[in-house]
A and B are shown apart, each in its own frame.
Chain A
């Protein structure tokens, strides 16, 4: 009656495992330690797929980081440090010249910069014609999402290696350089490739002058890049980069620990950071730039139209409670809408405290302000939040904190795009917004200039508070060529914002990336505007 079926039982599994063990082994990626290291760096990014690889439309982290590896700009942020500028395609950083009411900046292009080859377009040397074409594209609202940044600018090719940028009204270096640097509209596309590929082609086939050249796009899986041997700063150390789309954090984590990834996007959560650091093969980098969390009060919706009520809410909130959501190491408190840690124009804790505008948590004071405003019994507000944790947990924490002073918040969770649509329709009495902007002018213009008031502004953007009291300060600062005076104007503007409590600055959360210990980025990490560690010609995969 008894049948020996044990061998049959193990047949499938044993065969599969044996074949696997014989043919497998985790892929190796390291080259010789001396000279060029080579190897393919495998990068797991927290996204489902490419958004767009046209640099003048890209806004997602997954796109910005990939674009940074393929394109250059006239100027670049120093690798790993977004607070400093250095020449990129330009041979040097220019100084401005006045031309009547206008201002001119002349860029001399570096020699020998080659546009990468693509189907039907062989490699060719980049000239001023490409630069002018690219900047004009950035300034065209039909071909760029950042056209507003280039309003009033004209671009001219003086000769094949000279480009002149003329501004209708003067700008300081602090404001002009970011527009022409390796961020958003500043990236230079190669004209012939862009015209050959067309608007749709550029979305999935980037062609630039950077250290890596596009090789292949596998939808919802990966983009493969290979080293650009003709790169003007020298052939990259790596043979290439595999940029893998992996929306699931656990998969990225396991891929890194299993040896299938070299770098993985993590999460701004101290528990995750500490867990990864317990692994001998992994290292975690926590660095800027940080996306700033601010809470904007809609002054058109009662009772938030009363200053004491907005101040009461500010006193009822506690930055430390918000910060505990992520952990102190991956976030830092901010005391003005512009983060002083990353750019000039922000107010530090000391500066706001000295003015009595740090709004240190004081719930008794909050209750008294509410009582004085005739709201001793509190009130109820209805609002929507995104389903994304980066938003939802902030709203929920705010809900819990305000409940302690009698303010009830009814939250409705919606998908992220619906939240963005809803808050732009001016229906949320309080808007939590998480964003990074490249300089104080952009922060202040987009969130606090009357032109940017949602629905009713001249150019509706993200002024959710309907704030209109610092237009002149923003405009004055924008055209102030003296950096110190400009910074002072930005600080004055933010002092006013805090006095009027148009928005409550909470904190910024840093970028968190894990890597295998053999990965050497080639630079220290302080802050990177492309929102990733920065992979360039110096990045290496070392033998452990």
Chain B
């Protein structure tokens, strides 16, 4: 097992390095001069040239690349090219909002999706199943930003039950929660559709198994058959896919943060892009990459723990 874990961890290094290289190249092929963007339309050519020099944008790309890697190794994310604010502070301020949103959406998706899927399976080819299948298809088809706007219009603007925009104050639980509900529902309801469909098909599979039939034959109550026997087995693929959903939610959170004008890594990244703040953009993308690689690593390791065959195939 130790060898398996070591292998997986080592494998993430080239993956992460490749991602860093792509990030570095992508940021540099973006059109527009960062120094011009930073100083605005009024700046003189001398001021722009001086800033390019100060930001060391005139250095050869390989030199910039090595400096970028060296800074990252030291844990130095740099400062904003536009207003010199430390990027580490910006990420520290925004990251909790994205994590809070992602976890809340995951919670909504799982706690709504699993019961819906199970219910659809238990009412297979009946009206609730048809409604659920159509509903989940709609859920998969509706983009998160569109659903977000609908929720804002209904709950935030018409009913005025919840704030339409903003992230609230993280030190105030009530304020934070009221600002979290609509964005979490936006992301979570889209995820609910996926979870419900998966839970339904997993349950349908399990419900035809011999041990379920045996349980019923033994006269065990239907509720117990579903919850104690069938659901436990059906949950395995759902739990295994939770990591992947987590990665997807982090990605989807970008548009949700923008629609709700909510602080977070997504808003930070898009804002950096709009301002041509290349250092902030680069560092934010690195943090995203770190998350994705990290979650994939944890998922791989979890597979290994759950299923010994994976460890063996992996060379262990």
Contacts and interface: CB of A to CB of B under 8 A. Distances in A.
A1 B122 contact: yes
A146 B40 CA distance: 12
A120 interface: no
23 contacts: A3-B119, A8-B111, A9-B119, A13-B185, A19-B181, A23-B177, A24-B163, A24-B174, A27-B163, A53-B83, A59-B41, A145-B47, A147-B44, A219-B85, A221-B267, A247-B274, A248-B259, A251-B258, A255-B261, A257-B164, A260-B165, A417-B36, A435-B41
A221 B263 CA distance: 6
B222 A3 contact: yes
Contact of A204 (B83, B274, B277): B83
Interface stretch (A43-51, A309-317, A483-491): A43-51
Interface in B28-80: 31-33, 36-37, 39-47, 50, 79-80
A414 B276 CA distance: 14
Question: Which 9 residue pairs of A and B lie closest in terms of their CB atoms, listed nearest first?
Answer: A258-B164, A48-B271, A417-B32, A23-B174, A59-B40, A24-B178, A219-B90, A200-B84, A8-B115
Contacts of A280: none
Interface in A1-44: 1-3, 5, 8-9, 11-13, 16-17, 19-21, 23-27, 44
A415 interface: yes
A8 to B, nearest CB: 4
Given A12-B108, A27-B163, A257-B164, 5 more contacts: A12-B111, A24-B161, A50-B85, A248-B258, A460-B45
Contacts of A12: 107-108, 111-112, 188
A378 interface: no
B47 to A, nearest CB: 7
Interface stretch (B2-10, B12-20, B149-157, B237-245): B149-157
Contact of A260 (B79, B89, B164): B164
A420 B122 CA distance: 63
Given A250-B149, A258-B165, A23 B178 contact: yes
B299 interface: no
Contact of B267 (A16, A26, A220): A220
Interface in B142-180: 149, 152-153, 156-157, 160-167, 174-175, 177-178
Interface residues of A, number: 68
B263 A254 contact: no
A265 to B, nearest CB: 13
A5 B85 contact: no
A509 interface: no
B42 A16 contact: no
Contacts of B226: 3
A97 interface: no
Nearest to B149: A250
A203 B40 CA distance: 14
Interface in A139-164: 141-142, 145-148
Contacts of A342: none
Nearest to B84: A200
B260 interface: yes
B166 A255 contact: yes
B202 interface: no
Interface of B: prevailing SS:
helix
Contacts of B83: 49-53, 203-204
B274 A48 contact: yes
B275 interface: yes
A12 B175 CA distance: 18
Contacts of B263: 218, 220-221
A247 B277 CA distance: 15
Nearest to B110: A12
Nearest to A23: B174
Nearest to A1: B222
A219 B93 contact: yes
B187 interface: no
Contacts of B259: 248, 250-251
A16 B122 CA distance: 27
A204 to B, nearest CB: 5
B270 interface: yes
Contacts of A250: 149, 259
A220 B163 contact: no
A359 interface: no
Contacts of A11: 111-112, 115
A463 B46 CA distance: 18
Interface in B238-289: 258-261, 263, 267-268, 270-272, 274-277
